[in-house]
Structure 1
Amino acid sequence: MHGEYKVPGGKLVVVDLDVIDGALRSVRVAGDFFLEPDEAITAIDTALEGAAAETDTAGLAARIDAALPRGTVMYGLTSEGVAVAVRRALSHATNWTDYDWRLIRDAPQSPALHMALDEVLTSEVAAGRRPPTLRVWEWAEPAVIIGSFQSLRNEVDPQGAARHGITVVRRISGGGAMFVESGNTITYSLSVPASLVSGMSFADSYAYLDDWVLNAFADMGIKAWYQPLNDIATEAGKIGGAAQKRMVATDGGPGAVLHHVTMSYDIDADKMLEVLRIGKEKMSDKGTKSAKKRVDPLRRQTGLSRQAVIDRMLDSFRNRHGLTAGQVTPEEMARAEELARTKFANPEWTARVP
């Protein structure tokens, strides 16, 4: 069995192993990390040898920590990262380069249709009828998108939303509210087979699926990092947030994960504060007194146009994983339009948590 895992902000860890009578055998850990002293790599292999195949990530990491020589120093490597690579080997996880990635980049759509497209396209990946897909959103109108479990009245000021012509919709993933305006945000979705994040915790999968965009920012000279659980941050402040929804396997398919991200290219913070109700508890949690200071737009950090930022992001993805132009099929669009009408534009769904 073979497993690979790139430690967030670190290096690639590769594990090869057998399972005999329910135990790990012939374990070999490798990668482009740095490790001192030399004998530490043998200690890691030995620590994993004989471990029960059902041992979870925490248990495997504890075995490694207990076996490391005194004074061991890891660069680009963690015990948890090795353990995740083991779990990925055991679950026959896939990697980015195992797939023919498709790009969907269409004309501006309504907020409700964007919600529906996410659900339809990810369900198609879950059923095995669509390859993994990266979809870049364009907005036909300004919107607030609240998380699946958020209270509508606690998150949105209805008078502010009406005054600024803001459409409010609810998405299928959890997380917090997103304030978007055409030309001021960069939003994308990844619809991926569940096997791509197999062996990872939810937190691990967020970091793993955000890694490509962190590399894209690095190519643009921006030092960005994943900040648990779902933020993309820089030294100047937060620039984006992610949310996920898991979909079970259907029709014999692999199951899928929807991972979507909204980043601020250029935000009207005053308008946002008139539309969103951002509580004191959220401010204290972020270590700041002002919502304006929470998000630092990409326009200021890059000096590039929004279109140039998106193009460079896609070039970075294409160079690392491959990316072929695709499209929403007529059948998928028909389903999405019906779902937008009956669900995502339906006030009962939007207010399902009043």
Structure 2
Amino acid sequence: MAHTLHGEYKVHGGKLVVVDLAVTDGRLAEVSVSGDFFLEPDEALDDINAALTGLSSDLPAAELAAAITAGLPDGVVLFGFSAQAVAVAVRRALAKATSWHDHEWDIIAPTVLPTAVNVALDEVLTEEVGAGRRNPTLRFWDWDEPSVVIGSFQSVRNELEPAGVEKYGINVVRRISGGGAMFMEAGNCITYSLYLPQSLVDGLTFEDSYKFLDSWVMAALESVGVQAFYVPLNDIATDQGKIGGAAQKRLSNGGMLHHVTMSYDIDADKMVQVLRIGKEKLSDKGTRSAKKRVDPLRRQTGLGRGELLAHMMATFADRYDAKASFLTAAELAEAERRVDAKFGTDAWLNRIP
């Protein structure tokens, strides 16, 4: 009898999907999908199992999901889950996809570093995790100098107000991930980076991967009275306004960066003197004012920044059994080398003038 494999996937904001199966001659066999989801009619569960049975165990999640969808009759209702969610559970059963608890996680507490070094560390540590030389890691940033970190694909002249940059002595750096500009003064925001293997988000859409990777921070915020949610694709908000945004970068060696900045006590008047936030940027945000669009966590929680950081780290550690870690001398040296060679150069900053 073939060995039974087991995979589980909890849909963000939805239900648990469980798949038990075997593999015979490279094909899925004895497939049994279960969970606390809702499905009408009941017989559609048999259709899902049948659609998966006999498929190659090497198929990517997208093709598994497509086979499930094609095998379901018209009018079937999946509530609290999806064909994609089933596909992720299948990939986890096959050990092609991983869950949080399949990894040993490290946490690096905030360390004051130049902004360019923080940006370079994102590239270095993502490579290290992808190569298997470092455990998947959550790292919180800290910095002293006022900075703007622009997204990988943003134009310098379109994003920055030169007069404001000069007036406030802003250090401008370009990061490796996409997304929008970050206005960062000492203590005005909470910034963290997750370095992880791409297997953790195997089968998830880009949109779902953002929600999935930040589920822990949503729980941390909820426990201090902040009901946060994602506004597609990458904005984090409450009913009071936007509190942050996320960005990602996937490397060819299998490593992945997920980066988040949340406003803690931002000076919105100064921000709009430094950043060019045009009408088109705000056109789908439900507001005409960039200053009104951002609502800081300090006002919403009443907690000190250190208290919030400690609470976030404790939540992550409790959920994923993460251990305290530190940047190594070699990692810091490599980051500083890359500042000199790349992140601190005009060529990198102005690659999109």
**TM-score of the pair, normalised by structure 1:** 0.90
Secondary structure of the residue aligned to 1:97 is helix
Distance 1:182 1:30, change over 3 A: farther
> In structure 2, what is the Cα distance between the partners aligned to 1:231 and 1:304?
22
Maintained 8 Å contact 2:88/2:97: no
Maintained 8 Å contact 2:92/2:99: no
Residue deviations 1:34-78 (CA, integer Å, cap 9, x gap):
55665554443334334555375376257348637957462x323
Write the mapping of 1:27-106 to structure 2, written as runs, cut at 5 A: 27-35=31-39, 39-51=43-55, 53=57, 54=59, 56-57=61-62, 60=65, 63-64=68-69, 67=72, 72=77, 74=79, 76-90=80-94, 92-106=96-110
Distance 1:59 1:294, change over 3 A: farther
Quote the offset at 1:106 in angstroms.
Answer: 4.0
The letter of the residue matching 1:98 is D
Match of 2:161 among 157, 162, 174: 157
1:123 and 2:122 correspond: no
Write the mapping of 1:155-304 to structure 2, written as runs, cut at 5 A: 155-249=159-253, 255-304=254-303
Maintained 8 Å contact 1:88/1:200: no
> In structure 2, what is the Cα distance between the partners aligned to 1:169 and 1:274?
17
Maintained 8 Å contact 2:88/2:202: no
Secondary structure of the residue aligned to 2:112 is coil
Gaps of 5+ in 2: none
Secondary structure of the residue aligned to 2:96 is coil
Secondary structure of the residue aligned to 1:107 is strand
Gaps of 5+ in 1: 250-254
Secondary structure of the residue aligned to 1:105 is strand
> In structure 2, what is the Cα distance between the partners aligned to 1:190 and 1:42?
39
Maintained 8 Å contact 1:142/1:182: yes
Residue deviations 1:157-191 (CA, integer Å, cap 9, x gap):
11111111211100011111111111110000001
Secondary structure of the residue aligned to 1:116 is helix
What count of residue pairs does the alignment treat as equivalent?
348
> In structure 2, what is the Cα distance between the partners aligned to 1:352 and 1:52?
44
CA RMSD of aligned residues (A): 2.4
> In structure 2, what is the Cα distance between the partners aligned to 1:216 and 1:86?
29
1:107 and 2:117 correspond: no
The letter of the residue matching 1:202 is F
The letter of the residue matching 2:339 is A
- Percent of aligned pairs sharing the same letter: 58
Secondary structure of the residue aligned to 1:229 is coil
Secondary structure of the residue aligned to 1:289 is coil
